[in-house]
Amino acid sequence: MKQQSGIVRIIIAEDHRLVREAMVSLINGVRDFDVIGTAGDGNELMFLLRNKQPNIILLDIRMPNMNGLEVIRRIVEEKPWIKVIALSMYTQPSYIKEMLRNGAHGFVSKYSMAEELQEAIRHVHSGSTYLSKSIQDQVIQDFSEKAHDQRGDARKLFTAREIKIIQMLSEGYFSREIAESMHINEKTVERDKSVILKKLNVKNTAQLVKAAVDKGVILL
């Protein structure tokens, strides 16, 4: 029996018996880790949690009777102090973000090496969120692409002339100077500026520039 001081108590929820047994052997081989229970499906896990008090649950997302996402939601509602590391062979960024949104504290691909699983347990136990190294770049790229799309959507709210006016305002030009540069009437610039303020829901030029940069309408 392991000494309990400083031990990370772990439950493994995995429907494939051989995979589950291999994980138990792997984790119990680490000095300060202790597998205190295993479950083959979601219902079995929730029943196990009535009497067990783990720090960490290693949770296969695809399980019978109650899928992993539903299990995560119930754990968040009933035992929010327990931290869940989701396990899956599916590594699409949208799938991973769905797990994290539902309350998982980490994600480890089933294709990961044993050392990474141990690293994930330590990170999550210490209060960090952990993503498998193999999918970190995918998630970052997906986030960047969505941010780029959102910037494009924001620019669609404005005409080409309005964007030009926003850009010149950000560079410190006054309405008169903008009008001269664009060969339009100063009143037209002021009218366009008023429309821009309304579209961005702000009250002055400083707020206008900040909001336009934040939304990706212009780049400084």
Portions of the chain given CATH number 3.40.50.2300: 8-138
Q: What number does CATH give the domain 147-214?
A: 1.10.10.10
HSE-up of residue 168 (Cα within 13 Å, Cβ side): 19
Q: What number does CATH give the domain 8-138?
A: 3.40.50.2300
pLDDT at residue number 8: 96
Contact residues for 112 (Cβ-Cβ < 8 A; gap 6+):
120, 132, 133, 134
Contact residues for 30 (Cβ-Cβ < 8 A; gap 6+):
118
Per-position pLDDT tens, the chain of length 220:
454 558 999 999 999 999 999 999 999 999 999 999 999 999 999 999 999 999 999 999 888 888 888 899 899 999 999 999 999 887 676 667 778 888 889 888 887 778 889 999 999 999 988 887 766 555 555 555 554 555 556 778 889 899 899 989 988 899 999 999 999 999 999 999 999 999 999 999 888 988 888 887 876 5
pLDDT at residue number 124: 94
Could you tell me the pTM of the whole model? 0.61
Which two tokens mark 14? 């995995």
Portions of the chain given CATH number 1.10.10.10: 147-214
